[in-house]
Structure 1
Amino acid sequence: MNNLQLLLISNSTMPGEAYLGYCKENIAQFLGDVKEVLFIPYAGVTVSYEDYTANVAAALNPFGIEVTGIHTFSNPINAVESAKAIIVGGGNTFELLSKLYDKRIVEIIRKKVMNGTPYIGWSAGSNMACPTIKTTNDMPITMPISFKALNLIHFQINPHYTEERIPNHGGESRAQRLQEFLTKNTDIEVLGLPEGTMVEVRDGKATYLGEYSGKVFFNAEKAEEVNHQDDLSFLLK
């Protein structure tokens, strides 16, 4: 765990801001001297991999960060093995995981990151760091061979977490959906990451970052609010 370097972000864009506007400085600071990153755009469904990669590059190039899409390599396994840092973008989590299995790089990425390669993800990319993708918000538009994800951390993340309710809407709230998960999965915690927030894992410590309060669900009956700079290292145990 002490080798892990993770930056797991809820979402890519806040209303009225440029793409990665609120978190690009966090990304640059997290990467430090690492200036070459491998970007995995497989979660993109309605955007081409080329356009997706170009959007990320446009946000990070001003920091001297060179972004290369994995789709430009003839051998994705070699691309991961040679990567200095890995960024996994958001989109559809089921599509993303399906593609990672199809390319046979799930275990390759896991091994690489567990050995200290920095990993950054947002939305579906953050879901991918969890043991499974069972706490994604996405529609299962495709069927991966397994729900098992990279298992870089021992807790689940729910990106875009909100406690807002749509007036006159009878569907379950996000908290109710997570309560369903926790009822069926009693041995794992869930971190609800509202938009505009993230969790950084480094040197065996996990830290909550962002101006909005998040929530740790310990089980179906117990949850606690978390705030900027709170230590979440207990979730790594």
Structure 2
Amino acid sequence: MKKAILASTSTLHGEEYLAYLTAHLNNLYGKDKEVLFIPFARPGGISHDAYTNKAKEAFKKANLDLKGIHEFENPLDALKNADGIFTGGGNTFLLVSELYRYGIMETLRQVVLSGTPYMGTSAGTNITGLTMGTTNDMPIIQPKSFKTLGLVPFNINPHYLDPDTNSTHKGETRETRIKEFHHINTQPVVGLREGSWLELNGKEITLKGKLSARVFECNKEPYEIEPETTLTNLN
């Protein structure tokens, strides 16, 4: 029975890290639990320890402890025994590369499918789709595969941005790039705006937050869905 929060971002403008999600952490993980943190998405500039400590401070506000997976001698055992899992944002190419390098992609998938509560933000949400092919990130490293966890039967585009009609920039919009993705790939893509998340509860997938999301299906015009819409049949 899957139980997860798949959030577009970790930090909203003017707020502290994970502030808009704190009230939902106990519903996801329970109380007085130790959550396993996967910090592998963050490239140079902040260590795994520093990133873990930042997340730990946010989890303390929900009376939850947090420990980085890099602190364990055996990451596979850490995943299998975790009360819950949180994967933070950063660079999706790096995150996926590291999950394959450590040999834990499939184990992560299996423990979440078996009921271990999971939360992802940004890159940590990107990896819950069928592939990482709709990330916004620079390809700073070549992962073994673009195939990811497949916790939902579609792809996700976190940080989705609408076209700015007043902009003079002539580069591709996010919508254009997702439509390009559909020239070669067929799975739907959900564009999650900042402050929105998908809630997984068993087979149910529901849009949460205050904003609508934009859904792209191959050979169809994109459309908007409102909060509390169920996406269970999107595949």
TM-score by length of 1: 0.94
Give the aligned partner of residue 184 of structure 1. 184
| Aligned-pair CA distance for 1:28 | 2.8
Deviations 1:86-127 (CA, angstroms, capped at 9, x unpaired): 111100000000000110001111111111111110100001
**1:151 maps to 2:123:** no
Give the aligned partner of residue 4 of structure 1. 2
**1:219 maps to 2:218:** yes
| Aligned-pair CA distance for 1:206 | 0.9
Tell whether the 8 Å contact from 1:28 to 1:60 is kept in structure 2 after alignment.
no
Deviations 1:116-140 (CA, angstroms, capped at 9, x unpaired): 1111101000011111100000000
Give the aligned partner of residue 209 of structure 1. 208
Q: Which runs of 5+ in 1 are unaligned?
A: none
Counterparts of 1:1-237 in structure 2, within 5 Å, are: 3-33=1-31, 35-45=33-43, 46-165=45-164, 167-186=167-186, 188-235=187-234
Q: Which runs of 5+ in 2 are unaligned?
A: none
Identity %: 42
SS in 2 for 1:142: coil
Distance in structure 2 (CA, Å) of the matches to 1:152 and 1:228: 20
Tell whether the 8 Å contact from 1:34 to 1:85 is kept in structure 2 after alignment.
no
Tell whether the 8 Å contact from 1:180 to 1:220 is kept in structure 2 after alignment.
no
Distance in structure 2 (CA, Å) of the matches to 1:152 and 1:75: 24
Tell whether the 8 Å contact from 2:7 to 2:121 is kept in structure 1 after alignment.
yes
Deviations 1:136-185 (CA, angstroms, capped at 9, x unpaired): 00000001111111122211000000113372212100000000111211
**Structure 2 residue identity aligned to 1:153:** V
| Aligned-pair CA distance for 1:48 | 1.1
| Aligned-pair CA distance for 1:32 | 2.5
Distance in structure 2 (CA, Å) of the matches to 1:194 and 1:28: 23
SS in 1 for 2:182: helix
Distance in structure 2 (CA, Å) of the matches to 1:112 and 1:29: 19
Tell whether the 8 Å contact from 1:49 to 1:69 is kept in structure 2 after alignment.
yes
**Structure 2 residue identity aligned to 1:47:** I
TM-score by length of 2: 0.95
Tell whether the 8 Å contact from 2:136 to 2:157 is kept in structure 1 after alignment.
yes
| Aligned-pair CA distance for 1:23 | 1.4
Distance in structure 2 (CA, Å) of the matches to 1:230 and 1:74: 42
| Aligned-pair CA distance for 1:57 | 0.8
